Amino acid sequence: MRLTVNGTLRNLLVEPRVSLLDALRDRLDLTGTKKGCNQGACGACTVWVDKRRVLACLTLAIACETREITTIEGLADGGEPHPMQSAFVSQDAFQCGYCTPGQIMSAVAFLAEGHPTDDAAIREWMSGNICRCAAYPNIRAAIRQVCEQAGTGGPDAAG
């Protein structure tokens, strides 16, 4: 099969039952996307397929053959971290860091989807991404920082 991952067309041989997560990690060596629960409950494996967030552990790789896949490795622009990546660092929005790639991918998509950016909305729209270290206040602060830097609002903006 052929997958377009982070703008690059990649060829790989996988069985039809292989998940997108396993194809990315085990066949393409893109290990930034994490395998958490492997049941779709934690969000650690969040990637984008055609610019929409999906859980890679629940998505078959074969279903993505004609689609554009973006992983955490593809988020940086020319070697410069994405503003959300920088905000996660400056707001200390991680502890163990295991959920961080999925949190960042979901947070960038959350903002692109145009949802309100108050704390209640952030909690709701990020609820599919679990942080077992409970860094949620800092994650929300990182998202608000990116909103403020982009001029799209702050903690009370309506999106």
Neighbours of 147 (CB within 10 A): 19
Query: Domain segments of the chain: what residues?
Result: 2-74, 83-150
| CATH class of the domain defined by 83-150 | mainly alpha
Banded model confidence at residue 158, pLDDT cuts 50, 70, 90: very low
Phi, psi angle pair for 42, to nearest 5°: -110, -25
Banded model confidence at residue 79, pLDDT cuts 50, 70, 90: confident
97 by Cβ neighbours in 10 Å (0-12 / 13-18 / 19+) ranks as middle
Distance separating alpha carbons of residues 104 and 87, to the nearest angstrom: 10
Average pLDDT over residues 47-51: 98
- Answer yes or no: is pLDDT of 22 > 70: yes
Mean pLDDT taken over the chain: 94
Q: Which amino acid is at 71?
A: T
Q: What share of the chain is helix, strand, coil (3-state, %, to 5)?
A: 40, 15, 45
Over the stretch 108-153, which tens digit does the pLDDT of each residue have? Answer: 999 999 999 999 999 999 999 999 999 999 999 999 999 999 876 5
Structural domain 2-74, CATH architecture: Roll (3.10)
Q: Which pLDDT score, from 0 to 100, does residue 102 have?
A: 98
